[in-house]
């Protein structure tokens, strides 16, 4: 039976890995919609290759380019936010949520309304609106499958287990490209320094977030939201080889680890074929060749993002939403050369403090609109924090 699938964010890093898996077995899938942004030629090429019904760019001013690129193919084209929602309304059995940033929330929420299976790569959905998202899935009998590699690993380690028996969850962090730099050197790290990753091939923003561990901080929050484990029982450990992705500790002392090559097609493929396992074109691990698996506790002076994540998890409410927005702006500020690498955490903390004294943090947003409102307020506050840092 062919499965109807859609890929949101098809032109990105996760999206392209998903396209790669689908393209290997074209007869098994009926591709409903592919969405992208500025990369019109990639979107058009993949829409043709996978024979999609619909291609959507999020940019209305690129619609003509997309139409020109797909003229004569019979593939429908559309553009803009409303078109993304309309694409999420099209019946599909499996949807990949791989748009980057808060823009990924609305299409994912809409897809859940149709009781679909949502493969969730977009981290921002769980960090900014975890309880709402899970409630939406429950209300419509929809399934969310984690695609972030650590969460896919935890999910796999939990197969057949009772959550009552889970004592702790440990996710691993490579430490990013700057893990052996001194604290003084870190303060002067450039965008090019932070944008090179030793193990994973990802986009620039998430690679810098790996070096600062803001990515891991997001993942700790995702873990709490998705698996419902108390913050004190969730930890991150530095593991330079990126072979063990996560471990689950049980009440009998057992630790179940998930090992795999650092290739996102593993987690994407698991979500695609779940609950089955199928052959995937990923490298097999040769343990003798890997030889050593190292683990060490992260140094919170080097990675202040992890400390912030712990308090965000404990606070709950709107703290995750503010954290995510502030971290995106802090990253913009770093990429634009307006603040240093180690200043990003300060901006996020100052934004959380400012929003806490103005509005309080503990009230959870109760609608997607409220989430987006808090997100916007936090972005504005974060920019003021950056301006204050520039003046100081």
Residues at the site binding ligand NDP, with contacts judged by CB under 6 A: 9-15, 36-39, 58, 98-100, 103, 121-124, 148, 202-203, 206, 264
Sign of CA dihedral 131, 133, 139, 144: negative
174 or 351: whose CB is closer to Mg ion?
174
| Least CB distance to Mg ion at residue 344 (A) | 18
Select the binding partner of residue 143 from Mg ion, ligand NDP, none (C-beta < 5 to 8 A, by kind).
Answer: none
Question: Cα separation of 156 and 114, whole Å?
Answer: 25
Q: Considering only the stretches 41-49, 97-105, 142-150, 336-344, report the one whose residues sit in contact with Mg ion under the rule CB under 5 A.
A: 142-150
Question: Cα separation of 81 and 65, whole Å?
Answer: 17
Query: In the set 148, 209, 222, 375, which binds Mg ion (CB under 5 A)?
Result: 148
SS3 content of the chain, % helix, strand, coil (to 5): 50, 15, 35
| Least CB distance to ligand NDP at residue 124 (A) | 6
Q: Which residues contact 111 (CB under 8 A, 6 or more apart)?
A: 6, 88, 92, 95, 97, 118, 142
Question: Cα separation of 321 and 309, whole Å?
Answer: 12
Q: Which residues in 236-269 are b (16+ Cβ under 10 Å) and which e? A: bbbbbbbbbbbbbbbeeeeebebebebbbbbbbb
| Least CB distance to ligand NDP at residue 206 (A) | 5
Select the binding partner of residue 58 from Mg ion, ligand NDP, none (C-beta < 5 to 8 A, by kind).
Answer: ligand NDP
| Least CB distance to ligand NDP at residue 68 (A) | 16
124 binds Mg ion (CB under 5 A): no
The answer to whether the annotation marks 210 as part of a ligand binding site is yes
Question: Cα separation of 314 and 27, whole Å?
Answer: 47
108 or 350: whose CB is closer to ligand NDP?
108
Select the binding partner of residue 135 from Mg ion, ligand NDP, none (C-beta < 5 to 8 A, by kind).
Answer: none
Question: Cα separation of 193 and 198, whole Å?
Answer: 11
H or E stretch covering 29: strand 29-36
172 or 354: whose CB is closer to ligand NDP?
172
| Least CB distance to ligand NDP at residue 101 (A) | 6
Select the binding partner of residue 237 from ligand NDP, Mg ion, none (C-beta < 5 to 8 A, by kind).
Answer: none
| Least CB distance to ligand NDP at residue 322 (A) | 17
209 binds Mg ion (CB under 5 A): no
203 or 281: whose CB is closer to ligand NDP?
203
152 or 315: whose CB is closer to ligand NDP?
152
Q: How far is CA 375 from CA 51, 86, 140, 329, 386, in A?
A: 36, 23, 26, 11, 17
Site for Mg ion in 315-334 (CB under 5 A): none
Query: ∠ CA 317-318-319 to the nearest 5 degrees?
Result: 95
46 binds Mg ion (CB under 5 A): no
For residue 275, is the peptide bond before it cis, meaning its omega torsion is within 30 degrees of 0?
A: yes
Instruction: Report helix angle 204-212 to 214-227, nearest 10.
Output: 90
The answer to whether the annotation marks 17 as part of a ligand binding site is no
- Binding-site residues for Mn(2+) sit at 148, 150, 219
Q: Where do contacts with Mg ion occur on this chain (CB under 5 A)? A: 148-150
């Amino acid at each position: 039976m062919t499965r109807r699938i859609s890929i949101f964010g098809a032109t990105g890093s996760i999206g392209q890995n998903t396209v790669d898996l689908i393209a290997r077995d074209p007869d098994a899938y009926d591709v409903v919609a592919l969405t992208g942004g500025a990369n019109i030629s990639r979107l058009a090429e993949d829409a043709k290759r996978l024979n999609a019904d619909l291609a959507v760019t999020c940019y209305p001013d690129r619609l003509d380019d997309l139409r020109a690129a797909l003229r004569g193919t019979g593939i429908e084209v559309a553009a803009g936010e409303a078109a993304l929602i309309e694409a999420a309304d099209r019946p599909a059995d499996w949807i990949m949520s791989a748009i980057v940033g808060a823009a990924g929330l609305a299409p994912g929420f809409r897809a859940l309304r149709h009781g679909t299976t949502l493969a969730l790569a977009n981290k921002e959905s769980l960090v900014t609106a975890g309880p709402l998202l899970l409630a939406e899935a429950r209300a419509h009998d929809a399934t969310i499958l984690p695609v972030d590699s650590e969460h896919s690993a935890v999910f796999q380690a939990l197969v057949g287990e009772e959550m009552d028996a889970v004592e702790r969850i440990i996710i691993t962090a490579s430490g990013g490209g700057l893990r052996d730099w001194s604290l003084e050197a870190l303060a002067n790290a450039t965008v090019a320094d932070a944008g090179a990753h030793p193990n994973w091939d990802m986009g620039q923003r998430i690679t810098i977030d790996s070096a600062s561990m803001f990515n891991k901080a997001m993942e700790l929050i995702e873990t709490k939201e998705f698996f419902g484990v108390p913050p004190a029982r969730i930890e991150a450990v530095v593991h330079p080889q990126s072979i063990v992705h996560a471990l689950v500790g049980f009440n009998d002392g057992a630790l179940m680890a998930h090992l795999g090559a650092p290739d996102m097609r593993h987690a994407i493929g698991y979500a695609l074929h779940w609950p089955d396992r199928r052959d995937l074109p990923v490298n097999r691990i040769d343990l003798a060749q890997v030889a050593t698996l190292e683990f060490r506790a992260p140094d919170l002076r080097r990675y202040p993002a992890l400390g912030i994540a712990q308090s965000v998890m404990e606070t709950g409410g709107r703290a995750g939403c503010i954290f995510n927005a502030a971290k995106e702006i802090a990253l913009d500020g770093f990429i634009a050369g307006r603040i240093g690498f180690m200043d990003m955490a300060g901006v996020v903390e100052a934004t959380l403090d400012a929003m806490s004294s103005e509005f309080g943090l503990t009230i959870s947003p109760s609608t997607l609109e409220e989430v987006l409102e808090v997100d916007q307020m936090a972005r504005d506050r974060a920019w003021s924090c950056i301006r204050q840092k520039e003046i100081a």
